[in-house]
Amino acid sequence: MNKKLLSIFSMLLTVSTTWAQVYESTDNETPEEDEITVIDREGREEVIEFPEAMTYDLDSLLNLYMAKTYLDEADDCNMKNINPSYTKEDYVDRLYRMPTIMEMNYNDVVQKFIDRYSGRLRHSISYMLGASNFYMPIFEEALETYRLPLELKYLPIIESALNPKAVSRVGATGLWQFMLTTGKQYGLQVNSLVDERRDPVKSSYAAARYLSDLYNIFGDWNLVIAAYNCGPANINKAIHRANGEKDYWQIYPYLPKETRGYVPAFIAANYIMTYYSQHNICPMTTRLPAQTDTIMVNRNIHLEQVAEVMGINIDLLRSLNPMYRRDVVPGATELSPIRLPQTEVGRFIDLQDSICNHRAGDFAKRVEVEVKDDVPTYYHKSKRYSRRSRAVRRGGGLNVTIRRGQTLSEIAKRNGTTVAKLRRLNGIKGNNIRAGKKLRVR
């Protein structure tokens, strides 16, 4: 090992010693656990939670339409399904050689997360390496727009396992796991029909803006991604408790449990997505879908209408348009995009009227309805109406006093009759009535 690398290695060990007194891993992790325990040299235990996406079941990831349709196990993979062992120096050297702006520190907690990705989650990494062909160009373009480090493109690995429809235990949604309030703050529309947190393009640009704002606050990338996980307020609290220290590894003990594992998980994700072949992981083979394009519509359209008229698989449409929560494109509210295979855009334009008219009654909301007012409104028997009910049953009548501001319609509704009957019983020709007068309502 050359002197420069040895110096860096020594510095990293010093950092590790400062915050954790050189952690030693325990061997008590079981397949059911969503956390790890580390022990310092004084025998003190600490529990670190895995980010939620590191606990996802691979079967649920592969159930996505894009995964089922365009990703396959590699037939030509000649690698043995064995995770080789390497020395600490090997990991330090590889992390150092990665072309990143952000620090990729090594310590035993980072090692734990590398082991998780290269061991139990190796098949999930194979999936994500294949799926990254869909998403990484989008992430990189958004990050480039805001001139952010491109290694941030691996944040969705630990946020959502590259699932655009992922929803966390606390409601964070999409590839970048935006909470509702933060998503709206960064321009992502969320309502009953649309959730732009699930839109890969819009959410990526929103995430880039948010990360840029966090860097303007903290000026340190480790603190930025920690704040992305637990919010700036929690980072500020940890800094305060650490007597003003602004180094992630110094404020580490004061962070929430999951956030303590977040930066190590991010470093491990960068490592495994770069050095996967060193751990005998083969990417799933990718059959990229046809190029796509967007068309804007100004009418409400249901994706089933598009699928049935154009003969396009409905799951493909849902996969290309994950932001539409109930398959409804609300073009009548505002111009709305529909993403289609590029070869189908011209056909959509030609068939748009047919698409909108197809099964229109099944999908359209009623705009105007008639009220059935030729019979009295039914009211459940109650004290309020019992006097009138007794009078009607006896064949008698009932008078009411007109109050200031009341209308015939309101009086009719309150007394279970119709405006027409009120007019007939009381000889009223128009709508003019005076407060204080009495009306017959039978």
> What residues are labeled active site?
159
> How many other CB atoms are there within 10 angstroms of residue 262's CB atom?
28
Question: CA-to-CA distance for 357 and 382, rounded, in angstroms?
Answer: 47
Q: Answer whether 222's CB lies under 8 Å from 248's CB.
A: yes
**What is the distance, to the nearest Å, from the Cα of residue 129 to the centroid of all Cα atoms in its chain?**
21
> How many other CB atoms are there within 10 angstroms of residue 209's CB atom?
17
> How many other CB atoms are there within 10 angstroms of residue 40's CB atom?
16
Per-residue b/e over 184-202, b at no fewer than 16 CB within 10 Å? eebebbbeebbbbbbbbbb
> How many other CB atoms are there within 10 angstroms of residue 182's CB atom?
18
